[in-house]
A = this chain, B = another copy of it.
Amino acid sequence: MKWDAWGLAEKSTTLSDGIKGLLQQALGVTTRQTPERAAEDVVLAASAVSEDQLAALAAIVGERFCSTAHYDRLLRSGGKSTIDLLRRRSTEQQNAPDVVVIPGTEAEIAEILDYCADNSIAVVPFSGGSSAVGGLDPVRDRFDAVLSLDMRRFDSLIDLDTDSGIATLGAGLPGPRVEERLGAHGFSLGHFPQSFMFSTIGGFAATRSSGQSSAGYGRFEDMVQGLRVVTPAGILDTGRAPASAAGPDLGELFVGSEGTLGVITQVRVRVHPVPESVVREGWRFPDFETGTAALRALRHEGAVPTVLRLSDEAETGVNLATHDKIGKEAVTGGCLAITTFEGTTDHTAQRVAQARAVLQSHGATSLGEGPGNNWERGRFDAPYLRDALLDAGALVETLETATTWSNLATLRAAVTKALTESLSGQGTPPLVLCHISHTYATGASLYFTIVCAQKEDPIDQWSKAKTAAGDAIIAAGGTITHHHAVGVDHRPWMRDEIGDLGVTVLRAVKNAVDPAGILNPGKLIP
């Protein structure tokens, strides 16, 4: 992972002069000179851990797994939101963890947590590094230093129960490695968020992640059968059975805990045989309302695809739905939807036929397999496009929410209005694109992409727009986040989301498992 942009250097992209012209014409984007900086030129505060502390930590994990080196700290200085990337190119001194520690066992983690509690050191669990909400910010809070706890050594396929379809996975195992390891046994997890290439199992669990195949395989919490979590107060091991009535589901308390309640070390997940058959299809709807009604019908009549997405007119128009072709070859007019069906050959064919009947009776026109295949090829690449747009002087960011089917149009209009008014009011009228990428029996997600010209202080510019959007989401009855998690960025609305008593409950759990409060301060819990 690049320290100042998304992903791998060899995959970075640039915009054509045509697109740049279009951006200038439509949004007033003018190329700014934000020079790339060499990592060694970034100014970090000196590490706040003492020689003695470093020695003590090295004694726990071994010297080679304990570092205060500039690049090691820089690489773990935050996530990959637009604000993270803009901050990272700043010439001012930047925040970074004071020390990076890479434990190899649960016992080592427990020792590190003890040591940090006794020595006023905050602990930020780190794995993929792709947080979009400030979940990895090295917030010092009331502590003297921040330790980045890198989980990369928890990278094994610990067990695969093929009869039950359950894999036990190390929390640091990257998404692509999971598919490789399971694939060797004929199994798949089927969890593909956009961050997939730089994701980990522990990150999926800690952030309550949802992947592009959520219609078929569920959200990550649906896949979780059990967790092992090391907390300062001991180890929790949840999930004795596929289902239980033995009181509250404590696993659901640690899924989505974002490193604030403990360090997830293992996750037991439901897996399925690698699908025999995959059938992709693109669909054109005359408008978003018609398309939304068709998606709802598909959920209610039970012929649910593995992947189910619908772009609005604007997103379809700029062809952002197939990320590598932004602005080129506008395919359809109207709204583009994509379905993918996976499973046994027979079962897939039957479901495809059922779904086609439902979609066509709700106004869909088939576009064949092309759009689905295009989407599939580019589906992890949008963040590279964001980097190119940022480099070209555009401000680009995404945000997401979810609500019931009956409230979806109201919520979409409210968020679009808030973003448009905020950015237009700042002199940079935006393009606001929207799609549905996750559907449920009772509702769906809304994912917004916002593009406008960068102002002098783009961090301040975006922060204002984000605040307006967050307030609008709360006012219109949406959730503050459907799959990006809370982190630092959504924390201001957390009390609106769960209420005063919800905050009291989370705080009580936090105090019970992390009495010193060292775990990921400043995130999630208001």
Interface residues of A (CB under 8 A from B): 161, 163-166, 207-210, 219, 221, 225, 231, 233-238, 240-250, 252-258, 261, 270, 272-273, 296, 300-303, 343-344, 346-347, 350, 354, 357, 401-407, 438, 440-445, 477-486, 490, 494, 497-502, 504-509, 511-513, 524-525
Contact = CB atoms under 8 A, between A and B. Distances in A.
Given A241-B401, A242-B441, A247-B486, 18 more contacts: A165-B300, A210-B245, A225-B442, A231-B501, A233-B501, A236-B502, A240-B477, A240-B497, A242-B402, A243-B402, A243-B479, A243-B482, A244-B479, A244-B481, A244-B482, A245-B479, A247-B257, A250-B505
Contacts of A403: 240-242
B302 A347 contact: yes
Contact of A254 (B248, B296, B405): B248
Contact of A238 (B219, B442, B481, B502): B502
Contacts of A478: 240-241
Given A245-B486, A248-B257, A302-B344, A404 B166 contact: yes
Nearest to A229: B501
A500 B513 CA distance: 11
A302 B236 contact: no
A231 B504 CA distance: 12
Contact of A405 (B164, B444, B505): B164
22 contacts: A163-B405, A165-B405, A166-B442, A221-B249, A235-B499, A237-B499, A240-B477, A240-B478, A240-B479, A240-B480, A242-B403, A242-B444, A243-B440, A243-B443, A247-B506, A249-B253, A250-B506, A253-B253, A272-B441, A301-B344, A346-B354, A507-B512
| Chain B CB within 10 Å, residue with most, of A231, A236, A296, A442 | A442
Nearest to A490: B246
Contact of A248 (B252, B404, B482, B499): B252
Contacts of A401: 241
| Chain B CB within 10 Å, residue with most, of A221, A233, A244, A406 | A244
A514 to B, nearest CB: 11
Lowest 6 CB-CB distances: which A-B pairs, in order?
A: A508-B512, A252-B252, A241-B479, A242-B443, A164-B404, A163-B406
A504 B261 CA distance: 13
B248 A506 contact: yes
A210 B243 contact: yes
Contacts of A499: 235-237
Nearest to A219: B243
A237 B236 CA distance: 27
Contacts of A255: 248-249
Contacts of A242: 402-404, 440-444
B247 A302 contact: no
Contacts of A357: 346
A507 B106 CA distance: 25
Contacts of A445: 243
A169 to B, nearest CB: 14
Contact of A247 (B303, B444, B524): B524
| Chain B CB within 10 Å, residue with most, of A209, A250, A444 | A250
A177 B355 CA distance: 34
Given A301-B347, A347-B354, A508-B509, A245 B524 contact: no
A240 B476 CA distance: 11
A164 B405 CA distance: 5
B501 A235 contact: yes
Contacts of A440: 242-243
A300 B165 CA distance: 9
Contacts of A344: 301-302
A243 B438 contact: yes
| Chain B CB within 10 Å, residue with most, of A233, A248, A253 | A248
Nearest to A214: B243
Contacts of A270: 441-442
Given A302-B347, A442-B225, A248 B256 contact: yes
Nearest to A164: B404
A407 B163 CA distance: 9
A512 B525 CA distance: 15
Contacts of A166: 404, 442
Given A164-B406, A402-B241, A406-B163, A505 B512 contact: yes
Nearest to A269: B442
Contacts of A479: 240-241, 243-246
Contacts of A207: 245
A482 to B, nearest CB: 6
